[in-house]
Chain A
Amino acid sequence: MMLIAAPEEVLTQNGRRVGLGRKLGQGGEGAIYELTDQPDLVAKIFHVPLSPGRAGKIRAMIAARSPALDRLTAWPIELLSLPTGEPIGLTMPRIAGYREIHQLYSPKSRRAAFPGADWRFLVRVATNVARAFATLHAEGHAIADVNHGGILVGQDARLRLIDCDSFQIRAGGRCFPCDVGVPTFTPPELQDQALTGVVRSESHDNFGLAVMIFLVLFMGRHPYAGRYLGEGDMPIERAIKEHRFAYGRQRHLVSMDQPPGAPPIDIVSPPVAELFERAFAAESVYLGRPSAAEWVEALGGLEAALVECPIGIAHWHSSELVACPWCRIEAATGVPLFSTEVSEATAGLFDLAAFWQQLLDIKHPGPAPDVTAGAARPKLSPIARRTLWRRSWQGPVAFLIAVGPAALSFGIDVPTLARLVFFVAAIVLFFLVRWALRGSLDVGTFVVREHEARKLWQSTLADWEAKAGPHRFDDKRAELEKLKDWWMSAEGQPQHRGRIEAAIRKAFDELHQIANQIEVDRTSLRQNAEETYALMLQTQLDLKTVSRKA
């Protein structure tokens, strides 16, 4: 018998009638209905009555319910039967507002389905995926059929696992296996195998976990979907079977390379990269794969060490990277990997305290360095030296010129009065010559030179103080403080906070740029400032020396 429409009457195990409401969805093996009297539950009604084995599995699951599983999954609550007693369906919690994980991990659908989700969000989701596996494994179960549709993600990065009746369940001393699997999440040792009755190990599940984490962190790229360097096709299934991890250390040995435009393995921290290497290594078949708990720990470390790129909006990356990987990929491919829209979800995620710590980590540039401190003692300029040298000849030259009349006054026999006249004439000549020579020494030149050099120094110093000083930095810091107060006062107004957050991020970028610019200016302007100061000192010395000797 095959049910096309909803059965007219379904009953719980204790005979209570369940009212089926609107049909919410339809899948290969059944349909989902609202329950008219229980809005937080839905009913899954199968097209054909369940086999005794299948019904037994669901009964065992209901018996194995736990608060942790209820929180994390859509675990069955009650078995439903037709009035004839044939089991036909189950009730489970209704999950609304969550989306399939593939909607998150490929950039194209992420921008629409998860506006504002950046890499922080993705790392957190990856960690939550590992936590979910850890919870199930701790209770003895396995997801077994790991796939892109079985994990739902909320806008707050929390998860719900669905299709729980396909899990592998251990309960009441029995194991209820899962008969299906999606090959791209299936470990090499199970590829090409009929999965009916195969008992999955935790290590099998951990392969699917590693693939899922990879998809989430690496922009929807599958770890085995690489560029095959050999001849012909390399389907993912075959690549898995042949251990051709396209991002691994050994990738060239297995003729693989990562696809163009895909993130390199070093976007994750070395401990996380190491877990991928272990999970996808050939030896993992025998040695087992990293456990969910190991992933939780390594991913937690990665999340704690994320920093925001000062240039790209919504770019968060591992602090161990010098350059932002997302800027590079976006520049190379032209694809915006993350939506820059600030959603309520990320407005809630904005951790002001952590952000402020980062801000405090930007070193205050301090006062402008003193460019006068290292100035050497000035030396006379060549022109001053030449002037002084010329001046040192003035006396002797005047003397020599005056010696003639003076000698005449003594050497020849003339009346005393004439002698006196000659003598006086000699003295007058001496001073006349000196005066004439002095006239050619222009002290004024040095006055003007000193004045110009002082003016130049003053303007250079003002420019230096403005560019190499901390004022611009201090102003931007003050602006950020104001934005911070504003953000704090916008408690409970997510949209408003979103806008302020955007302004804070912008101002933060600018602060970075200012700090860098100050460094650059200090380097490029320093020599000129020092030279200008030295020039002024020299002109002052010149002037002083030349004037004194005048």
Chain B
Amino acid sequence: MVFGASEFADNPEPRCPCLLLLDTSGSMDGPAIEELNNGLILFKHELCTDALAMKRVEVAIVTFGPVRTLADFHTPDEFQPPRLEASGDTPMGAAIVAGLEMIRHRKSAYKANGISYYRPWVFLITDGAPTDPWDRAAEMVRIGEEAKGFSFFAVGVDKADMGVLSGISVRAPLKLAGLRFSDLFAWLSSSLSNLSRSHVGQPPDLPPAWWAQR
């Protein structure tokens, strides 16, 4: 049997993968990490209210500070929101590289199993600036976006270095209004729900990002 065949025999619906790259460096400590944790719980809850999203959306989490894969791609019912703790520095570049590698792996599992998929979403959330080299990461994001391999979104929290984020993300990064992580994840969930019932290859209109600072 090909790797992953069981999972896809059980649920052959097209997949809509979403990778969360979450900053858990020391500066996130306090209310920020609490809000982020609550946001993740809400994220799962919202996705689970949609029977189709429940079979199509897949969530994976990579945290940095240090780089850790906390969850590989799973449908919302199997996704366990982790309790994140803040510590360490901000190896954002390495986290992006590791995350994009996970996406590449996931896509090859889809292909080997005849599972169609939507363009993956990568969601980077950070409150600082990378403490490691990030030019390779930026290059990979640029190439991936050009090849329509994934959509990369960067969200800055609080004192995040929006200049660096602009250098990494092809799309303009957004700044989270206050600590509205709950709104951010509610939006992400409903966007993924919409995406998962749209046509593969034709992205839907996204709801306005009401959580972002204007």
A→B interface (CB under 8 Å): 100, 102-103, 106-109, 148-149, 182-184, 219-222, 225-228, 233, 235-237, 246, 258-262, 329, 332-335, 337
Contact = CB atoms under 8 A, between A and B. Distances in A.
Given A109-B55, A261-B1, A237 B200 contact: yes
A220 B111 contact: no
Contact of A333 (B1, B51, B52, B202): B1
B197 to A, nearest CB: 8
B10 A107 contact: yes
A227 B55 contact: no
A225 B115 contact: yes
Nearest to A148: B52
23 contacts: A107-B9, A107-B10, A108-B55, A109-B11, A109-B55, A148-B52, A149-B52, A220-B11, A221-B114, A222-B116, A227-B111, A227-B114, A228-B114, A233-B111, A237-B200, A259-B8, A259-B12, A259-B114, A260-B114, A261-B2, A261-B9, A335-B9, A335-B10
B173 to A, nearest CB: 28
Interface in B125-155: none
Interface pairs A-B: 10 shortest CB-CB: A259-B114, A261-B9, A261-B5, A108-B11, A333-B9, A260-B2, A335-B10, A333-B6, A260-B5, A108-B10
Nearest to A186: B199
Interface in B2-18: 2, 5-6, 8-14
A261 B114 CA distance: 10
A220 B200 contact: no
A33 to B, nearest CB: 20
B105 to A, nearest CB: 15
A235 B201 contact: yes
Interface string B31-68: 00000000000000000000110110000000000000
Contact of B9 (A100, A219, A227): A219
A133 to B, nearest CB: 22
Interface residues of B, number: 26
Contacts of B2: 260-261
A108 B74 CA distance: 14
B209 interface: no
Given A227-B114, A262-B114, A222 B12 contact: yes
A183 B12 contact: no
A100 B12 CA distance: 16
A87 to B, nearest CB: 25
B112 interface: yes
Interface in B160-214: 197, 199-202
A221 B116 CA distance: 10
A219 B6 contact: no
Given A260-B2, A261-B113, 11 more contacts: A106-B13, A108-B11, A184-B199, A219-B9, A221-B12, A222-B12, A222-B116, A225-B12, A235-B116, A237-B200, A260-B113
A107 B9 CA distance: 8
Given A227-B112, A246-B114, A219 B12 contact: yes
A219 B8 CA distance: 10
A259 B113 contact: yes
A226 B112 CA distance: 9
A106 B10 CA distance: 7
Given A220-B11, A221-B12, A237 B201 contact: yes
B2 to A, nearest CB: 4
B191 to A, nearest CB: 14
A220 B13 contact: yes
A332 B8 CA distance: 12
Contacts of B9: 107, 219, 261-262, 329, 333, 335, 337
